[in-house]
Structure 1
Amino acid sequence: MSHDSEKPDPDLRTRLVDVGVDLVALEGVGALTLREIARRAGVSHGAPRRYFPTHVELLSAIARRGFTELAGRVTTALGDGGARPRAQLAELGRTYLEFALDNPGMYELMFRHELLKSGHLRLRDTSLPLFRTLVDLVGRARPDLRADARTVAGALWANLHGIAQLWGWGSLQLATDTDDFAPLLHTALDAHLGPEGGR
């Protein structure tokens, strides 16, 4: 049955995003076509365009869900902020890596450059606060760093992203002969912040 002639339905918009979230979890980014999302939502293939005029806008709405979930996990992990900044960075890193490994399809979608650059649905406003949290914690953990905290945070984020990708592919387990990413996380923190207690 076609829904194209009906008035816009906010519940259908939500359902399209819900279907996309489920689809990326089950089958990965490559499965996220407008036609497949419409089919699984039980609407005509043209219906999603009334809510998302472009494919990128729909992908951005799906990715936004991922950022919202990741931000919620980070907020929970950091708690009331009473822990030392270095310990909070370790928690943030662990949470980031666990999210990436638990949600590989969503994680890939969230960090696709063309979505972030497009600015659709204020996706940059969803992703950048997490980076600002990282910058703040780096600055508080090492106020004596000569480098700008954003630069160090960017390098640390790149390191975490690399661990997530290589771990997800199974490469790091093979190379390091371990099934625990915690030592890699702590080594990354040491590499970017200096050894804990080393000041």
Structure 2
Amino acid sequence: MSEPDGSLRARLVEVGVDLVAREGSSALSLREIARRAGVSHGAPRRYFPTYQALLAAIARQGYVHLGQQVAELVGDEDADPYAQLLALGRLYVQFAQANRGMFELMFRHDLLRGNNVGLREASGPLFRVLVGLVTRARPTPPGGPASSVVAGALWANLHGIAQLWLWGSLQAVVEMDDVEPLLRAALDAHLRPTTHF
């Protein structure tokens, strides 16, 4: 009896998620995913028109997982947005450390630039959370950049911290093993808080 299409498609993605968690993004190949799913090496092509489409479906699960953690972290709309942003920065670095292969896959430029609507749909809500927190933490001054611009700059900064921390580069140059001062410096540079000290 054959497996329903949706079920096999989901299993291929699940196998890919497990493979990237265990062995990193370089281990992801159509042949290896098919082998571990127990199907022929041509089977994934029936559900994913391209290799990038399969990788994007796997990466989407990373965004879903991160999104669930973010939702739990920032669910309280009455909480201090600066504190929530700081916690979000910590979570982002921790997620990168705990999910190195997935973090790398989630931000592959060929997947993000491609025609992967599902991947953009999964990542968009996370950015909107960041914009909302920035809006609450820093009302847009007259003539100042929009909250989405500030959130974009802050995200780039946080992503850089997470990536450089993974590589060990920041620890070496700033001579510290605590990422917290870097996260605070990033927030302060973008938000210029006046009431948090």
Please give the TM-score of this superposition, normalised by the length of structure 1: 0.90
Give the distance between the partners of 1:27 and 1:196, measured in 2 at CA.
Answer: 45
Offset of residue 54 of structure 1:
0.9
- Following the alignment from structure 2 to structure 1, what is the Cα–Cα distance between the partners of residues 78 and 16? 37
Write out the 4+ residue segments of structure 1 that deviate beyond 4 Å after TM superposition: none
The match for 1:172 among 170, 179, 184 is 170
CA distance in 2, matches of 1:110, 1:94: 18
Corresponding residue to 2:39 among 39, 43, 46:
43
CA RMSD of aligned residues (A): 1.9
Task: Extract unaligned runs of 5+ from structure 1.
Answer: none
Tell me how far apart the structure 2 counterparts of residues 70 and 198 of structure 1 sit (CA, whole Å): 27
Kindly report which structure 2 residues correspond to 1:24-173, keeping only aligned pairs within 5 A, or say none: 24-145=20-141, 146-173=144-171
2:57/2:118 contact within 8 Å kept: no
Amino acid at match of 1:67: Y
Q: What whole-Å deviation, never above 9, does each CA across 1:11-40 have from its counterpart, x for those lacking one?
A: 221211111111111222221110111111
> 1:45 Cα shift?
0.5
Describe the superposition over 1:95-136 as per-residue Cα deviations: whole angstroms up to 9, x where unpaired. Answer: 111111111111111111221222325211110111111111
1:49-82 deviation per Cα after TM superposition (whole angstroms, max 9, x unaligned): 1111211111111011000000000011113222
Show structure 2 runs of 5+ residues with no match.
Answer: none
| Cα distance, 1:174 vs structure 2 | 1.4
Instruction: Report if aligned partners of 2:140, 2:147 keep a CA contact under 8 Å in 1.
Output: no
Kindly tell me the number of residue pairs found equivalent between the two proteins. 195
1:184 aligns with 182
Q: Matches of 2:78 and 2:171 in 1, distance apart?
A: 33
Deviates more, 1:55-64 or 1:7-16: 7-16
Secondary structure at 1:91 match in 2: helix
Which one-letter code corresponds to 1:104 in the other structure? R
Identity between Structure 1 and Structure 2 (%): 62
For the 8 Å contact 1:190–1:196, the answer to whether it is kept is no
Task: Please say if residues 39 and 45 of structure 1, whose CA atoms lie closer than 8 Å, have aligned partners that are also in contact.
Answer: yes
Aligned residue identity for 1:56: Q
**Distance in 2 separating the partners of 1:68 and 1:183:** 28
Query: 2:88, 2:196 → 1: CA distance?
Result: 21
